[in-house]
Structure 1
């Protein structure tokens, strides 16, 4: 299993489409982290880039994200990637917590594209 986390400076980026990179965790049979890789983020909006296809091609099944718009959520879901929103903090600690305890999707989407030009802040639970 592979888990992707939108990352900026080793922490979960608050907005999927603007992250520096995606940290990709390869998880072994005993729920241990076997490998950590970094995939540079494409420029531009996450829902309009080919990142969902790229992640699907390398075997990512889960995305642990801070927040994202409905477009990105739909694109990832349509590529067979289960998304958990509302995540924060150190990416490795987050993945370890997910593997040990599980986490819940916040159910909240970022409305950034609805607020063009506004000083935008995504809210998290």
Structure 2
């Protein structure tokens, strides 16, 4: 299993489309982290980039994200990648929490496209 985590400073980035890079986590059949690789983030917002097709080509089946907009979720879901929103913390801790069954999707969709400045994102609850 491969998991993508939008990352900034080794933590889940609060805004998927503006992350510094992606942590690509490979999990073995015992549900243990086997490796974590760094993948550069494409330019532009997530829903306007080719990241969904890159995830598909890499065999990624899950993304653990902080805030993410509906356009990006739709594109990522269309290629068969599940998205769990509302994650925060160190990448390895978040992945391990998911693997132990302690994370669920927050159901919160970010409407940050109204403000591309990066600050003051308003997320819908």
Per the normalisation by structure 2, the TM-score is 0.93
CA-CA distance at 1:94 after TM superposition: 0.5
CA-CA distance at 1:101 after TM superposition: 2.2
Structure 1 residues 124 and 3: alpha-carbon distance in aligned structure 2, compared to 1, 3 A threshold: farther
1:6-85 aligned within 5 A: 6-85=6-85
CA-CA distance at 1:53 after TM superposition: 0.5
The question of whether the paired residues in 2 share the 8 Å contact of 1:2 and 1:59 is answered with yes
Structure 1 residues 3 and 118: alpha-carbon distance in aligned structure 2, compared to 1, 3 A threshold: closer
CA-CA distance at 1:124 after TM superposition: 8.8
The question of whether the paired residues in 1 share the 8 Å contact of 2:69 and 2:110 is answered with yes
How many residues matched?
A: 125
Structure 1 residues 21 and 47: alpha-carbon distance in aligned structure 2, compared to 1, 3 A threshold: same
Question: Partners in 2 of 1:118 and 1:18 — Cα distance?
Answer: 8
Per the normalisation by structure 1, the TM-score is 0.93
Q: How far does the alpha carbon of each residue in 1:24-72 deviate from its partner, in whole angstroms, 9 at most, with x for none?
A: 0101000011111011001111001001110110110000000111000
- Structure 2 gaps of 5+ residues are none
- Structure 1 gaps of 5+ residues are none
- Let me know the Cα RMSD of the aligned residues: 1.9
CA-CA distance at 1:13 after TM superposition: 0.3
